[in-house]
Structure 1
Amino acid sequence: MKHALLIAVALMAAPLSLEAQEVFPAIHVVEGQGCECCVKWTEYLQQQGFDVTSEDRFGVLLIQHKIELGVPAEHYSCHTGQIAGYFLEGHVPAQDIRRLLEERPDAAGLAVPGMPYGSPGMGPEDKREAYDVLLIRKDGSSEVFTSYPAADGI
């Protein structure tokens, strides 16, 4: 009887502990082979609570992956993630990924073109240069999703 009571209490408490934690779909990242900032962005996402898997691709194989996902060439960066049917191109901040998952816009994904200094995985945020996170529509058009101003010291 005592064991049955303990099991019942444990089963009732389990959903509460899961609700207290944010649970996100896994992110799969295709990194440029040997790219240190790709690894740093993947580590950043893990520190932010995302379950992340990754693989290296080089040259044409990496570009082919971006094309297959619908990433416009003018928005390419060094790595491409995928989460819940969206692509994540470049150094997209975790808060923007969370917002994307919450709002679920009719879009292909988010992009941070190039490699802006101070974006996640690209150096300290307190020395950040200004950059935009773009929402990429399924037709390839884009709009600003979030703007990050330059850090005060820049």
Structure 2
Amino acid sequence: MKPLKSTLLSLLLLPSIAAASSLTVIKSPTCGCCDKWIAKLPDKYHVTVEHPGNIAAIKAKLGIPAAGSSCHTAVHDSGLFFEGHIPTGLMDSYLAGKRSQNGIGLTVPKMPIGSPGMEHGGRFQAYRVYELLSNGKAKIYAEVASKAEQDSMME
């Protein structure tokens, strides 16, 4: 009888374990680097792309300041967001709980050359990933100094 209960419990929990996380990516329909970043997302994310009229208003409502803005915003089904060309491994860590208690999302301001989706030959510009907090402040979450370091964050 115990193996049967164990099997039934496993079957009941399976859908929640197997369910993919959802990301809604908000971007301009003409932005090609956003599409390149989306293509790098692992299959565990179910991605929906939207092209709203006033992207800046949506970013402001989420708590993304203009200085921390980039070309696209990915909103996770948990409500956390990822602004710009963030390495997917950092997104995974953030969603797994490696964040401040009042953290609301990560941002890579602007569009650093060589960041995921912004590849340009062999060029690479070091950049910082910031965590945005619910009190309107930001702090450094990660520093990406080289392409090799970034590649290790894409797994």
- With normalisation by structure 2, the TM-score equals 0.76
1:70 aligns with 2:63: yes
Greater helix proportion: 1
C-alpha distance in 2, partners of 1:130/1:119? Answer: 8
| Greater than 2 Å deviation, 4+ residue runs | 11-16, 124-128
Please point out which of 71, 74, 89 is paired with 2:83. Answer: 89
**1:1-154 equivalent positions in 2, closer than 5 A:** 24-45=20-41, 47=42, 49-58=44-53, 61-83=54-76, 84-103=78-97, 104-105=99-100, 106-123=102-119, 127-151=123-147
Greater shift, 23-32 or 133-142, is seen at 23-32
Structure 1: runs of 5 or more not aligned:
1-8
Q: Could you tell me how far apart the structure 2 residues matched to 1:34 and 1:114 are? A: 17
Secondary structure at the aligned position of 1:66 is classed as helix
Q: Residues of 2 paired with 1:77 and 1:112: CA distance?
A: 7
**Is the 2:21–2:44 contact (alpha carbons within 8 Å) kept by the matching residues of 1?**
no
Cα distance per residue 1:85-118 (max 9 Å; x no partner): 1111101111111111112532111000000111
C-alpha displacement of 1:36: 0.2
- After TM superposition, the structure 1 stretch with the greater mean CA deviation from structure 2, 118-127 or 132-141, is 118-127
CA shift at 1:49, angstroms? 3.1
How far did 1:13 drift?
8.4
**Could you say what the CA RMSD is over the residues aligned between the two structures, in angstroms?**
2.9
Aligned residue-pair number: 140
Classify the secondary structure of the residue corresponding to 1:39.
Answer: helix
Partner of 1:5: none
Larger-Rg structure: 1
SS, match of residue 127 in structure 1: coil
Corresponding residue for 1:4? none
Residue 12 of structure 1, CA deviation: 6.4
TM-score w.r.t. structure 1 length?
Answer: 0.77
Which ranges in structure 2 are unaligned for 5 or more consecutive residues?
A: 1-6, 149-155
8 Å CA contact 1:127, 1:150 repeated in 2: no
